[in-house]
Amino acid sequence: MHAASRPLTSRTLRAAAASYRRGTPVPRGPTGRVDLTDLLADPYADPADAERRLALTERRLFDAGDRRAVFLTVYGTVTSRVRRGLASDRFADPEWVGAYLTAFANRYRTALSAYECGERDRVPRAWRLAFDAALAGDTLVTQDALLGINAHVVHDLALALVDVGVHPKPARRADHDAVNAILAELVDVEQDLLAARYAPGLADLDEAGGRIDEAAAFLTLAEGRDWAWHCAVALADGGPLARRTVRWLLDRVSAGAGRLVLAPSRYGGARDRLLALERS
């Protein structure tokens, strides 16, 4: 388990412990409100296919008033920008990054497809939490975005990296980290999109609850992506016990971080005011 020792920080252990808390949103089965079958049935073939179908999924959910669109507004923007970077000199191995982008998107697709089919046992805990919360309709836009980012980065990313291979480590780690620069460029863009599409009453999402102390600190993309890389290396290099342990950590830490995002005590009285602003 030496390769995974770095992710075992006090923060990840607190998140893992939080996964055992109760008080999650009311479980939901198939929504029956939006038919996504044609968009989810087949795996994404390549980055262009992933970008196109993610955008269509977001539009269909958004038009139906389904808050699961919130995460896709963020994720679709990231996918589009990284795909454009494949044609530049940002990556040493753009073919690998393209495969990585596609495998990552397919992790989201399979989670949403299983959820839509009512196959909850096939949906990772963190995604069940995110989808249930979005459909319950009691969350802030910021919470919906963070819940999706948490499930996709803290749970899915390590598995996607294993799907496409992490070796040779130094070269591929450099390309993995190169994505962080793109993400940093998009922070303001994404927040403006969320404000424009879902919360017109919020002039500044950072100021209006965009950070959720230690939960959001863990979910900063650079830290979450570093966590995912180390977990992927442990999955690739470790023995059976190490692999089982890392998979347990991916499940529990992502679920616990999601529950920290939802904890109402972290907003205090500001949460009700923020909800009122969002819905004005």
pLDDT digits (tens, 9 = 90+) for 53-99: 999 999 999 999 999 999 999 999 999 999 999 999 899 999 999 99
User: Looking at the predicted structure, is the pLDDT value of residue 232 above 70?
Assistant: yes
Assign 37 a pLDDT band (cuts: 50, 70, 90): very high
User: Looking at the predicted structure, is the pLDDT value of residue 267 above 90?
Assistant: no
Residue 17 lies in a domain: no
Question: How many structural domains comprise the chain?
Answer: 1
C-beta neighbour count of 178 within 10 angstroms: 15
Residue 4 lies in a domain: no
Residue 19 lies in a domain: no
Share of the chain above pLDDT 90, in %: 60
Residue 130 lies in a domain: yes
pLDDT attached to residue 10? 54
Residue 62 lies in a domain: yes
Residue 12 lies in a domain: no
CA distance 92 to 70: 32
User: Looking at the predicted structure, is the pLDDT value of residue 242 above 80?
Assistant: yes
Residue 236 lies in a domain: yes
| Boundaries of domain holding 127 | 36-278
Q: How many residues does the chain have?
A: 280
Residue 214 lies in a domain: yes
Q: Taking the mean position of all CA atoms in its chain, how far away is CA 144?
A: 10
User: Looking at the predicted structure, is the pLDDT value of residue 214 above 50?
Assistant: no
